[in-house]
């Protein structure tokens, strides 16, 4: 695959457009929201990094000496772009993420977890121990504990499971571990779908900033549903609950979860396709 060479006027316009798209996302008012603040506390990409424009490894920038000062960039036969040495260093991660994306996409989606992972994170905790202690549990501790026991927990995502309380761990249908992540991730999982963003920014600047931003926006939408279905009462900050304690609420969650999985599927395919093209294009230098 050939590498596109972007003239300076073209990439400057793309950079300006990217920054304009990012600015509303990093509004301090949004970042202080306890639901959206997750995007800056759990995920490690900072606002200045999200704002930064990268064309991705499959493009070069003409007349762009300032990019030579950035991590991962170098001179190419034409212009400046992500260096072949940097791609070589990241090959193992590229291959891991590609394998994870493909395995997740190929697996049957599960829409029967009913968002109980957030409930398992407060199971049998006192009010003082709860992570978001500023917000009361909607149905109280006793009823919350009973609902977890009644519905059960079927979480396939290691990075959600590792935050379960000790008493909740044996209630989960499986015990996911980090090493088995490619065997367990499935496309119905809200957290697996959110994590497209994590894997994309970990591979920056190989992955274009436009893709990283799209996955950020998708993850934020997923996060909102995650917290609306959580045990916390967030009405005062504008989040109507999905009532998981009712059959109607669980049906609503499964419907929304399915819609978000369908929304994420083409993003996952796009991500995997881009990594394949990078590995194919730079195969001689990354082996």
122 in Cβ contact with 171 (< 8 Å): no
Count of domains observed in the chain: 1
Task: Give the pLDDT of residue 80.
Answer: 98
Q: What is the pLDDT of residues 118-173, one digit of tens each?
A: 999 999 998 878 887 789 999 999 999 999 999 999 999 999 999 999 999 999 99
Q: What is the pLDDT of residues 80-122, one digit of tens each?
A: 999 999 999 999 999 999 999 999 999 999 999 999 999 999 9
Task: Give the pLDDT of residue 185.
Answer: 95
Owner of token pair 């230098």: 285
Distance (Å, whole) CA 267 – CA 219:
11
Percent residues over pLDDT 70 in the chain: 98
The whole-model pTM stands at: 0.94
Residue predicted with more confidence, 30 or 46: 46
Look up the domain containing 180 and give its range. Answer: 4-286
């Amino acid at each position: 695959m050939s590498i596109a060479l972007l003239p300076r006027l073209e990439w400057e316009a793309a950079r300006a457009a990217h920054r304009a798209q990012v600015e509303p996302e990093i509004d301090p008012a949004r970042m202080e929201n306890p639901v959206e603040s997750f995007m800056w506390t759990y995920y490690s990409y900072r606002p200045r990094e999200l704002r930064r424009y990268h064309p991705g490894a499959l493009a070069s920038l003409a007349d762009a000496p300032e990019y030579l000062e950035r991590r991962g960039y170098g001179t190419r036969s034409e212009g400046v772009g992500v260096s072949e040495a940097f791609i070589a260093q990241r090959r193992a991660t590229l291959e891991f993420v590609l394998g994870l994306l493909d395995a997740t996409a190929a697996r049957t989606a599960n829409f029967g977890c009913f968002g109980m992972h957030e409930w398992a994170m407060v199971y049998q905790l006192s009010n003082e121990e709860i992570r978001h202690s500023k917000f009361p549990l909607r149905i109280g501790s006793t009823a919350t504990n009973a609902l977890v026991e009644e519905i059960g927990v079927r979480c396939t995502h290691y990075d959600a499971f590792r935050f379960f309380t000790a008493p909740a761990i044996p209630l989960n249908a499986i015990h996911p571990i980090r090493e088995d992540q490619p065997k367990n991730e499935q496309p119905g999982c809200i957290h697996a779908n959110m994590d497209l963003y994590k894997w994309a920014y970990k591979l920056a600047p190989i992955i274009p900033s436009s893709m990283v931003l799209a996955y950020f926006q998708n993850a934020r939408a997923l996060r909102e549903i995650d917290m609306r279905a959580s045990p916390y009462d967030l009405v005062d900050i504008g989040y109507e609950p999905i009532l998981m304690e009712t059959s109607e609420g669980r049906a609503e969650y499964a419907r929304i979860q399915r819609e978000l999985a369908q929304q994420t599927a083409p993003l996952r395919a796009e991500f995997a396709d881009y990594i394949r093209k990078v590995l194919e294009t730079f195969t001689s230098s990354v082996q």
